[in-house]
Structure formats: C-alpha cells, structure tokens
Amino acid sequence: MTVALRAVPLVGGPVEFRGALDLETTRAGVMPRRLPAWTKAQYQDPSVYGVTVMPSGVRLVFRTDARELEFDVLTSTGRLDPTPTLARPGCWSCSSTASWPGVSRRRWATCCGWRAPGPAVQRLVPGEPGTVRFTGLPAGMKRVELWLPQQTPTELVALRADGDVLAPLPDGRRRWVHHGSSISHCIEADGPTGTWPVVAAALGGVEVINLSQAGNALLDPYVARTIRDTPADLISLKVGINIVSLSAFRLRTFGPAVHGFLDTIRDGHPDTPLLLISPVSCPALEDAPGPTTTGPDGRLTALGDAADVAGGALSLAVVRAELARIAAARQASDPHLHHLDGRELLGPDEADDLADGLHPTAAAYRRMGKRFAAHAFATDGPFH
C-alpha cells in the first residue's frame, strides 16, 4: 500500500535550520543565509550577499519515521559571461551523499562571490522549482540531517514526507563557530559533507556553523559582531589569504584590525576557546604581495612586487609572522586564545593539491578536515 506524502512546514514547525543565521523569504520559498539580516545594510560589495546565500554547512534537522522525503527547491548557478558552461548545481546529503542533476535556474553575469572585469551586472534567467527525492530510508524513528549544497544558493519551496516529522532532540554537542575565506567555504569540495569544517566537526563530535565567505574574509566588523552575538562553545578564525590577495591592508593597519576583530569577539565570548589560524600554503603569495589575477594557465598569479614587502606590503609569510606575534602577545592575558600555522593543514609540499594555485582539491579538503580534528580535538588540543 502506497502512503501519500504529506506537506511539512519549513518554517514554524518541527524542522530546524542549522548553520544559517537568517531565513530570507523569497518569491519561491525560503533561502537560508549564513549571516544575520542586519548585516546586509553594511555590505560594501554585492559579492558578500552572493556567498552568504551559498549554504556551506547549512542543514535541515528533524526526526521522522518516513521512508520517503521530497523537497521542492529552486537553485541558482552562476557563470562568467561569455563562458558557455554553467557551474555544477551541487550535491545534497541525507545520511549518504545523493547527487541531484538539477537544472540551471538563474544565470549571473558574475559568478556569486567572485569578481570579474567590468560592472557586476546580474542577468537573471528565471526557472521553476525542481524536486529532490530521498527514498528507501531506514524504518522507524530516526534523526535526519539534510545538508544543502555548499556552492549553490538554494531556495526551499516545500517539504513532504510519508510519515511523521518531529523536532530533533537535544544531543548535547558543543557548537563550533568558524570564519574563513573560500578555503573554508570549500566550493570545490565533493559535496556538503566534504568541506573541511564539516569533516572536522564530524570527527570532533561537534555542531559547526561555518561563517566563511569566499573572497570576503577581510576582518569586517559586522562579522566580528555576528560571532560575538552567536552562542558558541568553540571559535576559530582563519585569517589572511583574502587580505593578501586583495591588498586589503598594509602591515601598519593589519595588526590593529586583527586586535579589533578579536576584541569584539571577546566582548561576547571572554573565555571561549578561540583558535587563530594563519593561511595554508599558496606558492604565488608566499613572498609576494597582491593584488592577484588568474594567469593564462588558469592559476593564481601575484601582481605585487616582492620588494614592496619591506615597505609594509603583506605577503603570506608576513601575515603568518604577524598572527603568531599577535597571538603570543595576547595569550598573556587570554589563556584561551590559541594559534595554528595554516601550513599544518596544507603545506608547501602539497602544491599539486591546489588545482588553480589557490583552492585545494576535494581530496585535500577532506585531508585538511582530518588534520584539523587531530590537532584541535586532541587530548591536549585547544578544543578538547
């Protein structure tokens, strides 16, 4: 006997959105965002909005005895005109990763989160929602975590189930809030549970909120205030690559900006373990400052002159040294502040794992997650 699927409310019912700090109402349904609504008034660059609606680490959590689930969704994929190919529509995960072929619903003149020459004019190509189905779920009441694609803005239109759907029970896991760049956003990962923060969270037995913003980890004050005001048992910050690649600071201004960012977070979390992480290896920027471009070979190229470092321009080597210095200076009065050299997550001997000279491969992201967990959640680690 076939049991009819029943509608389940996405908002105001048993379903919890985790990893999102805002739900934006759209014409199609609801779209999770990874920064609170008030921050939108402070964006200087529209790419910030584009990356905050890419739901890296966002999942729907509930209990159900259903054997079948259906979600009506509308996704947005992007391209850089006149490139003829569109970005892949993403991968969903529900207990095990399930690929969804999807259809491009919108086309953008600039790919969400990335800058292209000329004005960032968006051309929208409307589409209709598609349906994601999960069948053959185990019998009986179970906890379900549905992970949204980390690189694809996703509007959820409807949820249906052939059984009861209940709110999840508390599980006592600690909440870890992380902020970083595209290398923590992990657009290139093989799925939503393949990003290194999610891999690390699973190994550490914690809940993760990933506030990373591809191309936009620039010590923005609204991010510091967001972290300050978000309940957290553990906090980590991965700082540096966007600052160097965009020439966003000089040595004179970088240190005070880091101090200010940390001070704001400490206003709300004075004793929370906080791990400050410097950049992973990136050959083009180790000793040369930005800005950067993409060369004819598709790899990152530094446009800055290494000679300018002596005058205060920032390279990755300078940023790492400055972050280590800042951490050491603050630890005298902040024993819960810790430091990790990012090269312990991905080192200089792993340059082949940077397909474009900057972003790790899917396999490298998983390796980074395992290495982070081994460090942070070890018996003597900062998150133990």
The DSSP-derived string for 331-353 is: HTT-TTEEEE-GGGTS-GGGGGG
State how far the Cα of 365 lies from the Cα of 353, in Å rounded to an integer. 9
Q: What is the pLDDT of residue 102?
A: 33
| Per-residue exposure over 122-131, b if at least 16 CB sit within 10 Å of its own CB, e if not | eeeeebebbe
State how far the Cα of 165 lies from the Cα of 9, in Å rounded to an integer. 10
Q: Is the pLDDT of residue 85 over 70?
A: no
Helix, strand and coil percent figures for the chain, each rounded to 5 = 30, 20, 50
Q: What is the pLDDT of residue 127?
A: 74
What radius of gyration do the chain's Cα atoms show?
Answer: 21
* Mean pLDDT, rounded, for 322-347: 98
Architecture in CATH of 11-166: Sandwich (2.60)
Q: Across all residues in the chain, what is the average pLDDT?
A: 89
Each residue's pLDDT tens digit, 104-130: 232 222 222 223 333 444 556 667 888
Identify the weakest region by mean pLDDT among 96-100, 156-160, 203-207, 250-254: 96-100
Identify the weakest region by mean pLDDT among 148-152, 212-216, 266-270, 380-384: 148-152
* Mean pLDDT, rounded, for 161-184: 96
All structural domains of the chain with their residue ranges: 11-166, 175-376
User: Where is pLDDT greater, at 88 or 217?
Assistant: 217
Q: Is the pLDDT of residue 97 over 70?
A: no
Please name which of 178, 227, 217 lies closest in space to residue 199, comparing C-alpha atoms: 178
Confidence of residue 140 (pLDDT cuts 50, 70, 90): very high
State how far the Cα of 330 lies from the Cα of 319, in Å rounded to an integer. 16
The DSSP bridge pattern shows strands 16-18 and 59-64 to be: antiparallel
% of the chain beyond a pLDDT of 90: 81
Query: Which residues face 264 on adjacent strands?
Result: none
* Mean pLDDT, rounded, for 64-83: 78
Chain CA centroid to CA 109, Å? 22
State how far the Cα of 186 lies from the Cα of 100, in Å rounded to an integer. 19
* Mean pLDDT, rounded, for 282-311: 96
State how far the Cα of 62 lies from the Cα of 20, in Å rounded to an integer. 15
Token readout for 205 is 């037995």
* Mean pLDDT, rounded, for 72-89: 59
Q: What is the pLDDT of residue 123?
A: 59
Instruction: Identify whether the C-beta of residue 314 lies closer than 8 Å to the C-beta of residue 289.
Output: yes
DSSP state string for 157-221 = EEEEESS-EEPPPP--PPEEEEE--HHHH-TTSSSTT-SHHHHHHHHHT-EEEE---TT--S--H
Helix, strand, or coil here: 376? helix
Q: Return contacts of 343-347, CB within 8 angstroms, 24+ apart.
A: 343/278, 343/280, 343/281, 344/371, 344/375, 345/196, 345/277, 345/280, 345/371, 345/372, 346/280, 346/281, 347/280, 347/281
Half-sphere CA count of 49, side-chain side, radius 13 A: 14
Confidence of residue 56 (pLDDT cuts 50, 70, 90): very high
Q: Is the pLDDT of residue 251 over 90?
A: yes
> Which CA distances in Å does 49 have to 52, 53, 109, 164?
5, 6, 15, 35
Q: Is the pLDDT of residue 211 over 80?
A: yes
Instruction: Identify whether the C-beta of residue 195 lies closer than 8 Å to the C-beta of residue 189.
Output: yes
Q: What is the pLDDT of residue 84?
A: 38
Look up tokens 């553990």; give the residue: 234
Q: What is the pLDDT of residue 205?
A: 97
Helix, strand, or coil here: 283? helix
Helix, strand, or coil here: 327? helix
Give the DSSP letter of residue 44: S
222 CB neighbour count, 10 Å cutoff: 16
- 175-376 belongs to which CATH class? alpha beta
* Mean pLDDT, rounded, for 330-343: 98
Instruction: Identify whether the C-beta of residue 250 lies closer than 8 Å to the C-beta of residue 289.
Output: no
* Mean pLDDT, rounded, for 303-323: 98
